[in-house]
Amino acid sequence: MRLAVVSSDGKNVDLHLGRGNSIYVYDYDGELTFVENRNLEIAEDSKHQGGKVIKACEDCDVLFCVQYGFKSKIKAEDANIKLVMDEGPIDEVLQRYIDHVEFMKSL
């Protein structure tokens, strides 16, 4: 499973999806592995830029951010990307999600 996080500092999930000028990508296959950092050109004063972030994450299964808008939700669904709203340290956010996925698989 490929996971992407929008983050201003590479340590925390702390950005709205449309402000995600830096994306940190991880793979999870029983172990979490950092893959790469992707940088995007996001105009600070423009709205509705979540589509750019989603396009940059087309190879990802899940995308984490603090918040997203309705249009981004539709674009993510069309790209088969699950959007998850959460915030805090990246490792804690990803571990919460992984724990949830593993728990659901065990049912």
**What is the arithmetic mean of pLDDT over 77-102?**
97
Contact between 50 and 17 under an 8 Å Cβ cutoff? The reply is: yes
Range of the domain at 10: 2-106
The answer to whether residue 70 scores a pLDDT higher than 80 is: yes
Residue 33 is part of a domain; what is its CATH number? 3.30.420.130
In this predicted structure, what is the pLDDT of residue 15?
92
Number of separate domains in the chain: 1
**What is the arithmetic mean of pLDDT over 68-77?**
94
How far is it, in rounded angstroms, from Cα 34 to Cα 95? 13
**What is the arithmetic mean of pLDDT over 60-73?**
96
Question: Mean pLDDT, the chain, as a whole number?
Answer: 94
